[in-house]
């Protein structure tokens, strides 16, 4: 039950009816009409810009059109008053019976409240993390992982059919380096003293891989040439790295529907052409690939630039700034070529909408990838790319020093173990994804108002606590969700109570908008507001005892307020579950 959507429908019906009657021209474009909560609550419950947006096409003055619309809107059941204000705003005030109806809907729908409006079951593929399988995940991966996961949750809640996908970069040179590094650890596990040369991965996390290789192959790999052992070692190493990454992700409560291997794109089984080969054939057939050379970048001089003929994709035809290479000088495909094939594969698996979550350092690749998707899917596929900016890790305001070479980089697991999943997830989402984020290890575990994670969880715990206490005061009151719908909700007429009801009524719209904008942080900020309203109402009961949620000698008012509290708890729990954060029964 999205109040704002309902009134948007009412409005379209009114405009349609006026057109039928010949009062307004037919076919007015209502796409810019919005129904939203007015910024100032004294203006009413709903506001619309309809008159101002439609005035020009209707050939009426905004105020006159507003009067016309207002008269019709005033006739709708549940509407108490309609005003025209300012340049032509239409403000709608609902009568007191309306908020109880919203609450009743929440209590009936339970956790389904707010879900499923805009997705309409459309399939969406969300690809995120996709960290190289060459080591444990570090903090840098954390934000993209949490953002992608929460975005997927949000879209699923908004009614999309979401597939969560991880792209394993297991085909490039870096996994050969991984295999070489693992082979050294294998020899080490067999008793040799090793030194790890520059360019290989020095981390201790490869020692277990060495032991796994001994367990599987004994000493037999020692006699083989590199060309022979490398593929064998590579498989084990990648499997072990992916197992480690899955464990890291599990620590953040993140799971994927599909891990897609880049290697499968390159594979030529039984002498057949690979998926990338077939993509290239397709692009060539449509004259989107050619042999040519690129101009050197202007400005910043590139050392040892040499003009070179290469295989290029006509990215400029699809909005990119320059054509992009698909084949390396050694004849292998570029990462970009594989990536095009991968996205084409997603499209062929039935995804018209694809969302990729990338780190800030990949911002320069968005245009070429979108161009490629357009080209490879003949314009039918659509790729959105969400960029997660850097995270600056702090401790009490001081930057945490990290150096990969010194082995002092902080892993994702370190952070989760130090502060816990909930603070990590919430704080990573309590900022727009395209803004740099400061993450202070000391502050996020503080249990105070400074810490929004705690503040929101506390509101939920407080609501649950009220319900527990009510059970003692009124042992015979039925506190099951369904029974609450029988409460006399019209007793909720205090402004603080109505304020809470209005916030609850705004939740479905918020979900729609956050999903459409791909912005899970809006859910986090909304929850903060809702928590604040609950804490506020609680404290009003300190000064004004008749406003307390539990009134010992007023069973009916208590019951209505418990229904409200229960609805608040439901919505907080719902929002937190989108963020992947726990909604605790009590704080410890």
Q: Which is nearer to RNA, 233 or 523 (CB)?
A: 523
Q: Answer yes or no: are the C-beta atoms of 257 and 165 closer than 8 Å.
A: yes
CB-based burial label for 42 (10 Å; 0-12, 13-18, 19+): exposed
Q: How far apart are CA 412 and CA 433, in angstroms?
A: 18
Q: Answer yes or no: are the C-beta atoms of 254 and 428 closer than 8 Å.
A: no
**Structure tokens given for 481:** 């969700």
Task: Calculate the CA 131 to chain-centre distance.
Answer: 18
Q: Which is nearer to RNA, 190 or 360 (CB)?
A: 360
As measured in angstroms, the least distance from the Cβ of 118 to RNA is 12
Q: How far apart are CA 231 and CA 563, in angstroms?
A: 63
As measured in angstroms, the least distance from the Cβ of 211 to RNA is 26
**Structure tokens given for 176:** 């050969």
Element (H, E) at 259: strand 258-261
As measured in angstroms, the least distance from the Cβ of 188 to RNA is 25
Residue closest to 113 by CA, chosen among 531, 573, 587: 573
As measured in angstroms, the least distance from the Cβ of 173 to RNA is 4
As measured in angstroms, the least distance from the Cβ of 143 to RNA is 13
As measured in angstroms, the least distance from the Cβ of 87 to RNA is 4
The dihedral of CA 479, 485, 486, 488: what is its sign?
positive
Q: Which is nearer to RNA, 87 or 399 (CB)?
A: 87
CB atoms under 10 Å from CB of 399, counted, come to 10
Q: How far apart are CA 359 and CA 148, in angstroms?
A: 11
Q: Which is nearer to RNA, 43 or 211 (CB)?
A: 43
Q: Which is nearer to RNA, 25 or 363 (CB)?
A: 363
Q: Which is nearer to RNA, 370 or 411 (CB)?
A: 370
Task: Calculate the CA 499 to chain-centre distance.
Answer: 28
Q: Answer yes or no: are the C-beta atoms of 90 and 48 closer than 8 Å.
A: yes
As measured in angstroms, the least distance from the Cβ of 63 to RNA is 10
Sheet holding 79-85, edge to edge: 35-36, 46-48, 89-94, 79-85
Q: Which is nearer to RNA, 191 or 397 (CB)?
A: 397
Q: Which is nearer to RNA, 39 or 405 (CB)?
A: 39
As measured in angstroms, the least distance from the Cβ of 81 to RNA is 13
């Amino acid at each position: 039950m999205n109040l704002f959507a309902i009134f948007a429908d009412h409005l379209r019906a009114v405009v349609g009816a006026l057109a039928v009657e010949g009062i307004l021209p037919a076919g007015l474009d209502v796409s810019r009409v919005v129904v939203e909560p007015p910024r100032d609550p004294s203006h009413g419950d709903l506001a619309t810009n309809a008159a101002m947006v439609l005035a020009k096409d209707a050939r009426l003055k905004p105020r006159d059109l507003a009067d016309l619309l207002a008269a019709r809107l005033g006739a709708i059941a549940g509407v108490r008053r309609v005003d025209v204000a300012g340049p032509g705003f239409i403000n709608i005030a609902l009568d007191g019976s309306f908020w109880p109806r919203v609450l009743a809907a929440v209590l009936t729908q339970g956790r389904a409240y707010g879900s499923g409006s805009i997705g309409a079951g459309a399939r969406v593929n969300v690809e995120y993390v996709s960290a190289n399988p060459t080591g444990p995940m570090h903090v840098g991966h954390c934000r993209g992982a949490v953002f992608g996961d929460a975005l997927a949750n949000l879209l699923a809640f908004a009614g999309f059919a979401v597939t969560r996908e991880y792209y394993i970069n297991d085909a490039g040179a870096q996994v050969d380096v991984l295999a070489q590094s693992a082979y050294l650890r294998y020899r080490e596990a067999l008793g040799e003293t090793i030194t790890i040369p520059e360019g290989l991965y020095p981390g201790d996390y490869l020692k277990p891989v060495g032991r796994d290789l001994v367990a599987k192959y004994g000493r037999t790999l020692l006699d083989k040439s590199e060309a022979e052992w490398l593929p064998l070692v590579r498989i084990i190493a990648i499997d072990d790295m992916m197992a480690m990454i899955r464990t890291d992700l599990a620590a953040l409560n993140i799971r994927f529907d599909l891990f897609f291997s880049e290697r499968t794109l390159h594979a030529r089984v039984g002498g057949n052409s690979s998926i990338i080969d077939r993509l290239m054939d397709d692009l060539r057939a449509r004259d989107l690939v050619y042999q040519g050379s690129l101009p050197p970048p202007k400005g910043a001089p590139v050392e040892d630039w040499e003009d070179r003929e290469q295989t290029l994709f006509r990215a400029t035809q699809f909005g990119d700034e320059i054509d992009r290479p698909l084949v390396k000088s050694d004849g292998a495909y570029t990462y970009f070529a594989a990536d095009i094939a991968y996205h084409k594969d997603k499209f062929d698996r039935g995804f018209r909408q694809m969302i990729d979550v990338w780190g800030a350092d990949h911002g320069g690749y968005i245009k070429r990838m979108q161009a490629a998707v357009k080209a490879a899917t003949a314009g039918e596929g659509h790729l959105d790319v969400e960029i997660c900016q850097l995270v600056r890790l702090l401790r009490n305001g001081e930057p945490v020093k990290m150096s990969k070479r010194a082995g002092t980089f902080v892993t994702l697991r370190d952070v989760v173990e130090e502060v816990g999943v909930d603070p990590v997830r919430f704080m990573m989402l309590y900022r727009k994804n395209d803004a740099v984020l400061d993450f202070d290890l000391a502050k996020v575990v503080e249990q105070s108002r400074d810490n929004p994670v705690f503040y929101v969880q506390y509101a939920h715990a407080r609501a649950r606590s009220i319900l527990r206490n009510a059970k003692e005061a009124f042992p015979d009151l039925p506190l099951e969700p369904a029974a609450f719908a029988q409460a006399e909700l019209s007793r909720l007429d205090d402004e603080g109570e109505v304020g809470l009801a209005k916030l609850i009524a705004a939740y479905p719209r918020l979900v729609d908008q956050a999903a459409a904008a791909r912005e899970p942080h809006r859910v986090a900020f909304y929850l903060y507001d809702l928590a604040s309203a609950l804490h506020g109402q609680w404290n009003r009961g300190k000064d004004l005892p008749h406003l307390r949620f539990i009134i010992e000698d007023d069973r009916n008012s208590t019951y209505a307020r418990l229904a409200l509290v229960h609805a608040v708890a439901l919505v907080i729990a719902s929002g937190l579950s989108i963020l992947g954060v726990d909604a605790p029964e009590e704080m410890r």
